[in-house]
Amino acid sequence: MERIKAKWLTVALCCGALLYLAKPAIAGAPTFKDLLAEEDYALVSQMVEWDKRAFALPEDLELDGPLREAAATLLQAHVARVRELIPAWIAQERAQAGVPDLRGRALSQPIYHRMINEMAIWSVESAGPAHDEAWLNAALAPRACSVIPQSRFAQRMALIQAAPPSSRQALLAGERQLMSRWGTKREALPPRPSTADLDAVDQAIIRVRAGLQVSAEPMTPFLAVQIFYRLRKPGQSDRWEQCAKSQWWLASQLASGKADRTLALAVYRYTTMLDVREFVPDSAMKPPASLSAGGNGPYPPTAAYFNVEGTTTVQAETDDHGKLLKAQVVSRKITVSGVRENRPVAFESLLDAATLDVAAKRHYPDGKATSDRFDIAWHLE
Amino acid sequence: MRLAVLTYRWCAALLLTLAGMTVQAQDQSPVYVEPATVPDTVAAAYRMGDFAELERLYAMYGKAGVRSELTGNPRVEHFWMGIAKIDDSNLQVTEGYYLQLDALTSLWTREHPRSVLAQLLYVRALRAHAWVYRGDGYANTVSPAAWAGFSKYIDLALGQLRRSEALATYDSSWNEMMLVIGRDLNWDRQSLMAVFEAGVAKNPDNDSLYFAMEEALLPKWGGDLEAVDRFIAEVVKSTRDKRGLEMYARLYAGLSYGELHQTLFTSTGASWPHMKTGFEDLLKRYPHTDHQNMYAYFACMADDRPTLREQLEVIGDKFEPIFWGDYPERTFEMCKKLAGQT
């Protein structure tokens, strides 16, 4: 669905450009300024429409009356906010580029990236301790992973519906606050948990599947049937399984009594965050032959689609034969057009897998075990 | 062996129970629209680990005397059907699944030590785990290692069930579970009968108890068909005032579906006139198309052509294959032909 939206956006932008070319012939000779304003207006409308779809609240989503009403109010305020934000972002992009008439894809793409990044930030951000506690209660509610609609907003409303009633007020207050922060610079954006923390749930599942001891809470039958299904195929979890995995790990961390609650919640938020691959058309998933990352092999297609560039830092441990034992991405300095004031939360991990591939293929000196840290540069050629 | 174990009771009790799952589609009157998917509702709650919801549903459907208004099947059967979707030992999963289920239900027993449901869910999980070890094969095909696994978990299940007996003073599902485990452990008839009688004393409306006991009396469990005849006669005595010969018809029907197939009237003391009266008694209270299908099937088996004709007319296009034996379409066609003959 999201890919369809992305295609729709592309088509709409092309139509906007065609309109720009065709209009003078039909209507005489508008000024360049008029045309630019018209194109901007079209871009604002397209982005608002895109946002409305991303925030769709399906009629058949089971929300009680007061929650649906609260959701509608949140939505209304959000759409009005986005309608004001996009023109401001357009102005910022032009100022940043030093091109007063910046337009077309060079303008629309950064705006699109910024919208996606705002959605990601909204997924991982905290609105304060009361909101965090309420969110923990919501995430651990038995039905938290029962209804997971396509739209992120609908997902959050479904989670609030499934949450204990005592948490609702704090959850809605948190939503209001988080949504009001769209477009602003976040001073207290939670750091991305380490790769080890984010991967811990998958590592635990590997151990459980292998019959090894893991200190964790029992899984729900829903999760257990996914994990222990005889015909299970390796691959990415769908959003229901991901939700159940994250919920299980959160419950396990909290039950252990040793975990940092803030970190446990951050891991939950990051592992259930939107996946930008949902926004990539199928045609862009294969990298063009010409697209390479210096000496690092083919550029990761999703990263290429979003023009993600920068540097990743790997920590690699080898044995005394120079064999790689463990590698993990420990930091990233990446840029994405349109994303400046805040971390590119939505795009941060897009170079990770390719980075680990490079680390795996790298030659390490033998003779002694090492723990080495090195950078890999990623530039679209 | 395992399949045989399952088939009898399921065919007997659950054929009727299945009716409760399809009522919404069949019923035309909004007055009678019931939650058509009680088993699904229950399974959904269990699947997501929602114990509070399971407890709420059990309080509602586990009560003695609560039946589907359309089919007359006890709601408690629907409840356990939903549970069985999650703790079935034949799911396409590895043992890890059952370890998780054991752990989850064990946790519930500790968190809710006064809950009979929590105890029963744990016992069921352990029993399913035992059957995962044993498998579906005949007893003589089960390896010693598999028997050891079976024994370990079935003993755990039995121990847990015994410890919860005092909690289940009014809960006949506890007795049903004990009957099933007792049969797994080859208990003698007297012991099983004592469990059955105690269960019926708690809730005479728990039809599953009758079917479970009936199965335990089958030759494959060391019993004999004469004992089944005697048992059915006893059940009829105790239920006749309230239900006429309904249980007579249903218990013999169950025997046919699960064990004897078309030889019901030649292998047992089943009397068609009595069964016929039983179906009439059932239909008077619950004129449901499922019961009509069953009635017609046995009328055909008994070569009672007028009754068969009458029921086929009532059924019309509401043919329900599940009630027509091993080869339903073929049997239905054959019976229609028979009905056409004078």
Residue A211 touches partner B, C-beta closer than 8 Å: yes
Confirm if B74 and B24 have CB atoms less than 8 A apart.
no
| Chain B residues within 8 A of A229 when measuring between CB atoms | 92-93
| Chain B residues within 8 A of A143 when measuring between CB atoms | 48, 50
| Chain A residues within 8 A of B48 when measuring between CB atoms | 142-143, 145-146, 220-222
**Do A221 and B51 make contact, defined as CB atoms within 8 angstroms?**
no
Strand partners, A370: A318
Residue A165 touches partner B, C-beta closer than 8 Å: no
DSSP-based three-state secondary structure for B271: coil
**Do A220 and B51 make contact, defined as CB atoms within 8 angstroms?**
no
How confident is the model at residue A122, as a pLDDT?
96
Strand partners, A315: A328, A373
Strand partners, A318: A324, A370
DSSP-based three-state secondary structure for B93: strand
Residue B47 touches partner A, C-beta closer than 8 Å: yes
**B106 Cα to chain A: minimum distance (Å):** 9
CA distance A31 to A39: 13
The tally of CA atoms less than 13 A away on the side-chain side of residue A347 is 33
CA distance A129 to A212: 36
The backbone torsions φ and ψ at residue A373, rounded to the nearest 5 degrees and listed phi first, read: -120, 130
DSSP-based three-state secondary structure for A329: strand
**Chain B, nearest residue to A210 by Cα:** B96
Return the residue in B91, B95, B97, B102 with the most chain A beta carbons within 10 A, the one to mutate for interface testing. Answer: B97
B77 token code pair: 């059967």
A137 token code pair: 């209660």
A237 token code pair: 């979890």
How confident is the model at residue A294, as a pLDDT?
62
How confident is the model at residue A89, as a pLDDT?
95
Provide CB contacts within 8 A for B199, sequence distance 6+.
Answer: B172, B174, B175, B176, B178, B179, B206, B209
Provide CB contacts within 8 A for B333, sequence distance 6+.
Answer: none
Domains of chain A: 2-180 (no CATH), 195-279 (no CATH), 282-378 (3.30.2420.10)
Residue A209 touches partner B, C-beta closer than 8 Å: yes
A61 token code pair: 């989503």
Sign of CA dihedral B165, B171, B175, B180: negative
**Cα separation values, B330 from B15, B47, B172, B334, Å:** 19, 38, 39, 6
* Helical residues (DSSP H) of chain B, grouped into ranges: 2-9, 15-21, 23-26, 38-47, 51-61, 75-87, 95-111, 116-134, 144-163, 172-184, 189-202, 207-216, 225-243, 246-255, 264-267, 272-285, 289-301, 305-315, 328-340
DSSP strand pairing (A309-318 vs A324-335): antiparallel
DSSP-based three-state secondary structure for B62: coil
**Do A142 and B103 make contact, defined as CB atoms within 8 angstroms?**
no
> Which ipTM score applies to this complex?
0.86
B96: nearest CB among A143, A146, A208: A208
| Chain B residues within 8 A of A221 when measuring between CB atoms | 46-49, 86, 97, 100-101, 104
How confident is the model at residue B18, as a pLDDT?
38
Mean pLDDT for all residues in chain B: 90
Give kind and range of the element (H or E) at residue A370: strand A370-378
Reading chain B (342 residues) residue by residue, the pLDDT tens digits are 443 433 444 444 444 343 333 333 333 333 444 445 899 999 999 999 999 999 999 999 999 999 999 999 999 999 999 999 999 999 999 999 999 999 999 999 999 999 999 999 999 999 999 999 999 898 899 999 999 999 999 999 999 999 999 999 999 999 999 999 999 999 999 999 999 999 999 999 999 999 999 999 998 888 899 999 999 999 999 999 999 999 999 999 999 998 999 999 999 999 999 999 999 999 999 999 999 999 999 999 999 999 999 999 999 999 999 999 999 999 999 999 999 976
Residue B319 touches partner A, C-beta closer than 8 Å: no
Low-confidence ranges of chain A (pLDDT < 50): 1-2, 9, 11, 15-25
B101: nearest CB among A145, A217, A224: A224
pLDDT 10s digits, B32-51: 444 458 999 999 999 999 99
Give kind and range of the element (H or E) at residue A263: helix A261-271
Residue A142 touches partner B, C-beta closer than 8 Å: yes
Closest to B124 in 3D by CA, of B104, B96, B144: B104
CB atoms within 10 A of CB A315: 16
CA distance B238 to A340: 81
How confident is the model at residue A380, as a pLDDT?
86
